[in-house]
Structure 1
């Protein structure tokens, strides 16, 4: 008798997640103007009301990718494809958890008799069944944290200040770390960062908390809780539900099947929203080409550093353009942001502070 896959509203369709992963990847890939002005392919991968605008004209009338060493959209598409296993892992682990939970409950209710198994097969014991469940819980929570970390590598193509090994991070005691420091600093200026900050407060902070506990300190323990409900016929129907939590801390977050399923669904909603939002934007390397320092920056430089009109002003303006292209500073910022950047790097640019 082979182990069967259970039907449950707690589960997610892996095939639908696979299709969405491919869509997420292609939304970046089709924005590359391999076939100029062909927006029909682009629109096929975006919701009708969220199609991205056409790419701006080449800033130097050069062929794509406009003098860059590689195609930025292909780079991002490759990064999204590279996180495919991490993207799908929460769904896989959740479904396995639900399968074993239902199988265990059915065995306890007298189903799947050991005598139904073929010769050479053996029905998993109650210890084995619940071990599978607990291992799956660990896998769900670890995979959620890993999936969030992988998402940061995609955001790095669109926002400055994200290093190659930056993880999602957290906010503890009023101090932020990792990507959450970028989120906290930029949430007033960027709608996506504001959304991620809100999601962190709603559920991410709770879901990522057990990761260090599981990896470094202690397994989550299972507690079986009892509740009952009354059927339409008036009979009392008992329900026994597993709850998983750390035994080391009294206030540690606890996870039941509904909470685990809700957390996984919340991750996919966040990941898909983030990737769709980014796919409608221009990567940093392209923005640096089409969004140079704003008009009047030369006058602001002369005033801030008391420089007379000269070639030197043009050199500093070009240095700013190079810094924008390199992701050191965001394009389309107010003059004050660029002056602050020059001051922070005064020695590098050979500048003297105004007395």
Structure 2
């Protein structure tokens, strides 16, 4: 396994090379995060920007990364044009392209740049008002998706049963099927039970359309009474109920969950109706997806591998909470 320090140094070189192909002033590049993608903040005379170094095959085994990221940017631009929602502003490269592809020391990555967005994240300090605002913004996002016609070459993840339980996705460079083999036997058996249950639920729920697919409080910035939505890297087509489940997932086992749930649904239902009979099922689905992603990423990221057993135990506890006979 390549050390974290060596990997980050190489990816920083990729980010520096990518920046040379964007119309940005010289400035300082600071590391932000290394998880699904590796991100850096660039501060210069023309403001601050987020530089994203994208992981290869992030959006599925057979999906071209540049096409998928370009499609994400297409939706972001449409949201900014058609609604009052605050979402990241993409920055085009010098040649007008939405992304650049950079090769440095054997690492070839697609990179993109977004204008930096300020705000406060309330992932660990949530109040019902934050969930209400998030629910309203989510409903507005779904409304936009219903009325928007994507370009003919639009390519995003299809969040269906096969994406969650088949061998479509690549997690941390590991095929999804291999991640299943890495799970402890008890965890794998519980996840397969969720698999069987979700077959019928996907068919029954319907209401599929473009969704953010990762819109929890860690991807919402709050500022002066407004909410800004960030990190559309998982966006694709799926049940709208999954977006609601993701927003509540990390709160499900907390004492304030009923108030958070009611606030989110109140905000959402102010714009759109939704049937939430299977909400807990989709929260369980999110837990399975998170654990598989974490398991794959742990094989290539030491920071994840140190916490993997804890994540497995959390998954079992969460499924105990949300599953019904």
Could you state the TM-score of these two structures normalised by the residue count of structure 1?
0.21
RCO greater where, 1 or 2, for CA within 8 Å and sep 6 or more? 2
Structure with max Cα Rg: 1
Q: Going by fraction, where is helix more abundant, 1 or 2? A: 1
Structure number with the higher strand fraction is 2
- Report the TM-score, using the length of structure 2 for normalisation: 0.23
